[in-house]
Structure 1
Amino acid sequence: MCIFCKIINKEIPAYIVYEDDFVIAILDIYPMAKGHTLVIPKKHVTRLKELSEEEAKKLFAGLKKVIEKIEKISPDYNIIINQGPKAGQEIDHLHIHIIPRTGEEKIFYNIRHKLTEEEAKEVLEKLNG
């Protein structure tokens, strides 16, 4: 059983921000910023695509309620869903990060580049081919 399932089943403690029948939201124990919160579906799935449309609606309804709480810390925040280990997903249970931003954080360095026409064509071919 994964650590999130143990938290959901109240087998291990967590700092609960919000909970309803479908989701639990907890403070991240390794926060990137003060108030970094994880919104977790109680159903054990690894990826967002594994949820039904109705379940996804419930997850995002819970996310919206947690955002209202996060905005008490800052009106600015990141919402991140890591899907798979190469994308940074460390726990094999779907979860959404909400990271309040005050401007004092030293995260998310700018590593972007201008999209070239060649790159765009290659990506579109994979997505639409």
Structure 2
Amino acid sequence: MSYDDNNIFAKILREEIPCNKIYEDKFILSFYDINPQKKIHALVIPKGKYTDLDDFSLNASPEEMVGLLKGINIVAKKLGISTEVGMGYRALANISEDGGQEVPHLHFHLFGGEKVGKMVE
């Protein structure tokens, strides 16, 4: 999967499409999913042009890698679902077509606020 500069997350990063922002810093942007699957359903995306986790792992800088992981934790705390302040959550990244990825920009779904259930059905 190649990076598409016109994917919806690229447009959100360029502020061409609005989002319900939760958190933003130098490395990530987080916002609520427009079609939530659980009580809390947020997205965390890196600001760099990475198609998926494999691309990110191979090409991101160490600072971007740390920024993404710390960003996920910051967002989980803000949402009240991290184990520090809540009962836990699921962080999910779909990779490529067989993994169920629909948007060719790396993104993590954060699900919480209720029991998430089975991992794969």
- TM-score class, shorter-chain normalisation, is 0.7 to 0.9
Structure 1 unaligned spans of 5+: 112-129
With normalisation by structure 2, the TM-score equals 0.79
Report the counterpart of residue 90 of structure 1 in structure 2.
102
Q: TM-score, normalised by structure 1?
A: 0.75
Q: C-alpha root-mean-square deviation of aligned residues, in Å? A: 2.0
Q: Secondary structure at the match of 2:72?
A: helix
Pairwise mapping of residues 42-81 of structure 1 onto structure 2 (< 5 A)?
42-48=47-53, 49=57, 50-71=59-80, 74-81=86-93
* Offset, 1:108: 3.4
- Superimposed CA distance per residue, residues 75-124 of structure 1 (whole angstroms, 9 cap, x where no aligned partner): 22111111111111110000011000413x6x63665xxxxxxxxxxxxx
The one of the two structures with greater contact order (alpha-carbon pairs below 8 A, sep at least 6) is 2
For structure 2, list consecutive stretches of 5 or more residues without a partner in the other structure: 1-5
The answer to whether structure 1 residue 37 and structure 2 residue 42 are counterparts is: yes
Flag the structure with higher helix content. 1
The question of 1:108 aligning with 2:118 is answered yes
Find the aligned partners of 2:90 and 2:38 in 1 and give their Cα distance.
10
CA–CA separation in structure 1 for the residues paired with 2:119 and 2:92: 15
Deviation at 1:31, TM superposition (A): 1.2
Task: State percent identity of aligned pairs.
Answer: 36
Query: Runs (4+) of structure 1 moved beyond 3 Å?
Result: 107-111
1:41/1:95 contact within 8 Å kept: yes
Aligned residues: 109
Q: State the partner residue of 2:16.
A: 11
Aligned counterparts of 1:110 and 1:13: Cα–Cα separation in 2: 31
| C-alpha separation in 1, matches of 2:39 and 2:95 | 23
Relative to 1, partners in 2 of residues 1:76 and 1:6: Cα closer, same or farther, differing over 3 Å? same
What residue is the counterpart of 2:30 in the other structure?
A: 25
Q: Which has the larger radius of gyration?
A: 1
